[in-house]
Structure 1
Amino acid sequence: MKYYIIAGEASGDLHGSNLIKALKKEDKNAEIRCWGGDLMQQAGAELAKHYKEMAFMGFLEVIKNIPAIFKNIAFCKEDIQNFGPDAIIFIDFSGFNLRIAKWAKKKGYKTNYYISPQIWASREGRIKKIKRDIDHMYVILPFEKDFYEKKHGYPVHFVGHPLFDAMANTSLIDEATFREENGLDKEKPIIALLPGSRKQEVQKMLDIMLSVTKDFPDYQFVIAGAPSLSDDFYSPFLKKGQVGFVSNRTYSLLKHSYAALVTSGTATLETALFEIPQVVCYKGNWISYQIAKRIITLDYISLVNLIMDKEVVKELIQNELTSKNIKIELSKIVEGSARERILEDYKSLKKKLGGKGASQLAAQLIVKNA
């Protein structure tokens, strides 16, 4: 059968690549075309559009790029028709994907959504579009099943979280080799800096994260370079202090870290699954943040706290994200009492999420439902 997959950012590319591998196991004759990235292409899909061409973040950034977005939508529809898939699979990226889903449903294509839009966080009214346009929804967070089925009467499949698969499928370098290859101190404990994957957020986050390096002389800070950004992009930040840099090796970095400063997003959950105590950091464009604050109804922004429904890790958001506060909270997890409590909560988090197999289960259901 033919499958058309649409992912619009780095995390979608990661999970899409493991889904592609699983689809090829379930369907030996699978032909797959995608919007995604290098990982999905390497997994065996034909790449129609790279997510780097679509990484617009925040309300203002989206508005400024409306012409490019509409051009992409038109191209996507035409490309789907030319390919003629038996099933379309949407991965997160809801602003774009729900528009394509509306058109695809009317055209009679089978529509599958893997990794639900976060309508439980904002704009819950989108459930009407999902009910109308999505044939099958595969959710990855335990509370999403109750949200859809009990609150909205829309049946979904809980398949578990694909990060377990991503971690299992990634080869990690041993610590001595990792430190040597990346020019790191052989003994100082590592504090990982995960500033995000989009230019706008990385530029905002790294300056504030790096402002505390001098306060922790017994540790070394290491930036995790995102695959969506060139190494040259990070060069100005590396001149601002004693800081290391690792390109496209985030999992190995987390594996060998002692603590982390993490921009809110999937990375907060990845850090937790590697059992690294963290401080969650977020600061957006002022106007975008003011708009978001009025439509997002959650008590927390990190996936770790959302899944556990309590404050497991400290969140420093917008005006709270200062050098002083980062220093205070980071001290608590490298030298203070918060460290052991966080590690205990991480164990409970893992139990809630289940184990490996999300990609394979999702693939089995997609093939069955196609």
Structure 2
Amino acid sequence: MKYYLIAGEASGDLHGSNLMKALKVEDPGAEFRFFGGDLMNAEGGVLAKHYSEMAFMGFVEVVANLNTIFKNIKKAKADILAFKPDVIILIDFPGFNMKIAQFAKVENIKVFYYISPKVWAWNQRRVLKIKKYVDRMFCILPFEIEFYKSWGMDVDYVGNPILDAIAENEPDDQFKITHDLDVRPLIALLPGSRKQELDRVLPEMVKTADLFPEYQFVIAGAPTFKAEDYLPYLDGRQIPVVFNATYNLVRNSKAAVVTSGTATLETALLKTPQIVVYKGNPVSIAIARVVVNIKFISLVNLVMNDSVVKELIQEDCNSKTIAQELDLILHDQLYRTGMLINYDELAEKMGGPGASQRAAALMVEYLRRYPVIGSH
């Protein structure tokens, strides 16, 4: 069968690549075409557009780049029609992907959504559009099942693909030697994969390093950037940037400072105490504070429905407050242990690996059982 996948950022590329790998097992004749990244490209098929040209986050940023977004949507529609897929698989990235879902319904193309949009966070009435345009939803967060049920929607919970990625990642016990790091304990900095995140968050992260000379701070390089892209933010500081080794950097670190996103959940499942930070465009944040109806921004706290990790947002995201929280994590054993105990409970809630395989098996089963839209 022919599969068209759309992932619009780094985490979507990771989960999309694992899903493609699993789909090839369930359907050896699978053909792929996709919007995604290097990891999906490595699984075969044709990369129609790289996510690095697509990822805009925040209300103001989206408005400023509307022309580019519309061009990308137009390209995706034309490319889908030319490819004639059996199914379109949308991976998170809701602003873009819901437009594609609506288009697919008009064109009578089946739509699967893998990794639900965060409709539970704001404008929950968007679920009505999902019910109208999406044939099957595959969720990865445990609380999403009850949420969708409350809207009269039956969805599949497949577990979280982060657990697959972690399980497949080999621990590097010689990490410091591998990456030519010194003997000091490590602090991981995960500033994110978008330029705007580097601009706003990374300067505060690196200033924190000045206050902890007994630790070596290391930046997790995003696949969208090169080493030289980080240099302007370091202001002469000797802070290494490590690429393609984020999980092992986090595993080998005493603590991590993490920009809000999928990485917060990954860091918790890797059992490294963390501080969650975020700083966006002031107008975007002001709008978000009005329309978003959740208590937390980090996935760790959302899944646990409790303040497990400290969230430093906007004006609180500065080197002084980051340093205060980091000092607690590093030197208050009771505080540190409490976070790690909560991580254990989180891991139990998330379940085990196998999400990609479960999702792929269900997708192929649905396609074979219900090849015609509306037949189920």
- In the alignment, structure 1 residue 192 sits paired with structure 2 residue 191: no
Match of 1:123 in 2: 123
Question: Superposition pairs for residues 128-147 of structure 1, below 5 Å?
Answer: 128-147=128-147
CA contact (8 A) 2:201 2:317 kept: no
2: CA distance, partners of 1:329 / 1:222 = 18
Residues 12-69 of structure 1, C-alpha deviations (whole Å, 9 max, x = no match): 0000000000000000110111110000010123111110110222112211111111
Secondary structure at the aligned position of 1:211 is classed as helix
Q: CA deviation at 1:239?
A: 4.2
Using the alignment, how far apart are the partners of 1:264 and 1:297 within structure 2?
17
Q: How far off its partner does 1:241 sit?
A: 2.3
Structure 2 gap segments, 5+ residues each: 368-376
Normalized against structure 2, the TM-score is what? 0.95
1:263 aligned onto 2:259: yes
Letter of the structure 2 residue corresponding to residue 366 of structure 1: M
Quick check: 1:38 aligned with 2:38? yes
**SS of alignment partner, residue 188 of structure 2:** strand
Instruction: Tell me which of 199, 222, 234 is aligned to 1:226.
Output: 222
Does the 8 Å contact 1:20/1:45 carry over to 2? no
Give the superposed CA RMSD: 1.1
Aligned residue in 2 for 1:346: 343
Identity of aligned residues (%): 54
Select which of 280, 284, 288 maps to 2:284. Answer: 288
Amino acid at match of 1:252: N
Secondary structure at 2:321 match in 1:
helix
Match in the other structure for 2:21: 21
The answer (yes or no) to whether the contact 1:140–1:158 under 8 Å persists in 2 is yes
SS of 1:117 mapped into structure 2: coil
Post-superposition offset of 1:231: 1.6
Q: Secondary structure at the match of 2:78?
A: helix
> How do 1:170-209 and structure 2 match up within 5 A?
170-174=169-173, 176=174, 178-185=175-182, 187-209=183-205
- Counterpart of 1:106? 106
How is 1:205-354 mapped onto 2 (pairs within 5 angstroms)? 205-336=201-332, 337-354=334-351
**Distance in 2 separating the partners of 1:244 and 1:81:** 45
Distance apart, 1:169 and its partner CA: 2.1
Q: Which runs of 5+ in 1 are unaligned?
A: none
Equivalent-residue separation in structure 2 for 1:331 and 1:197 (angstroms): 26
Matched residue, 1:364:
361
Give, in angstroms, the shift of residue 369 of structure 1: 1.2
Q: Distance in 2 between matches of 1:63 and 1:205?
A: 21
Is 1:52 aligned with 2:75? no
Given the two structures, how large is their TM-score scaled by the length of structure 1?
0.97
Distance 2:72 2:235 in 1: 37
Distance in 1 between residues matched to 2:244 and 2:199, nearest whole Å: 18
Cα deviation for residue 255 of structure 1 reads: 1.4
Structure 1 runs, 4 residues or longer, greater than 4 Å off: none
Q: Give the conservation status (yes or no) of the 8 Å contact 1:182–1:245.
A: no
How many pairs does the alignment contain? 366
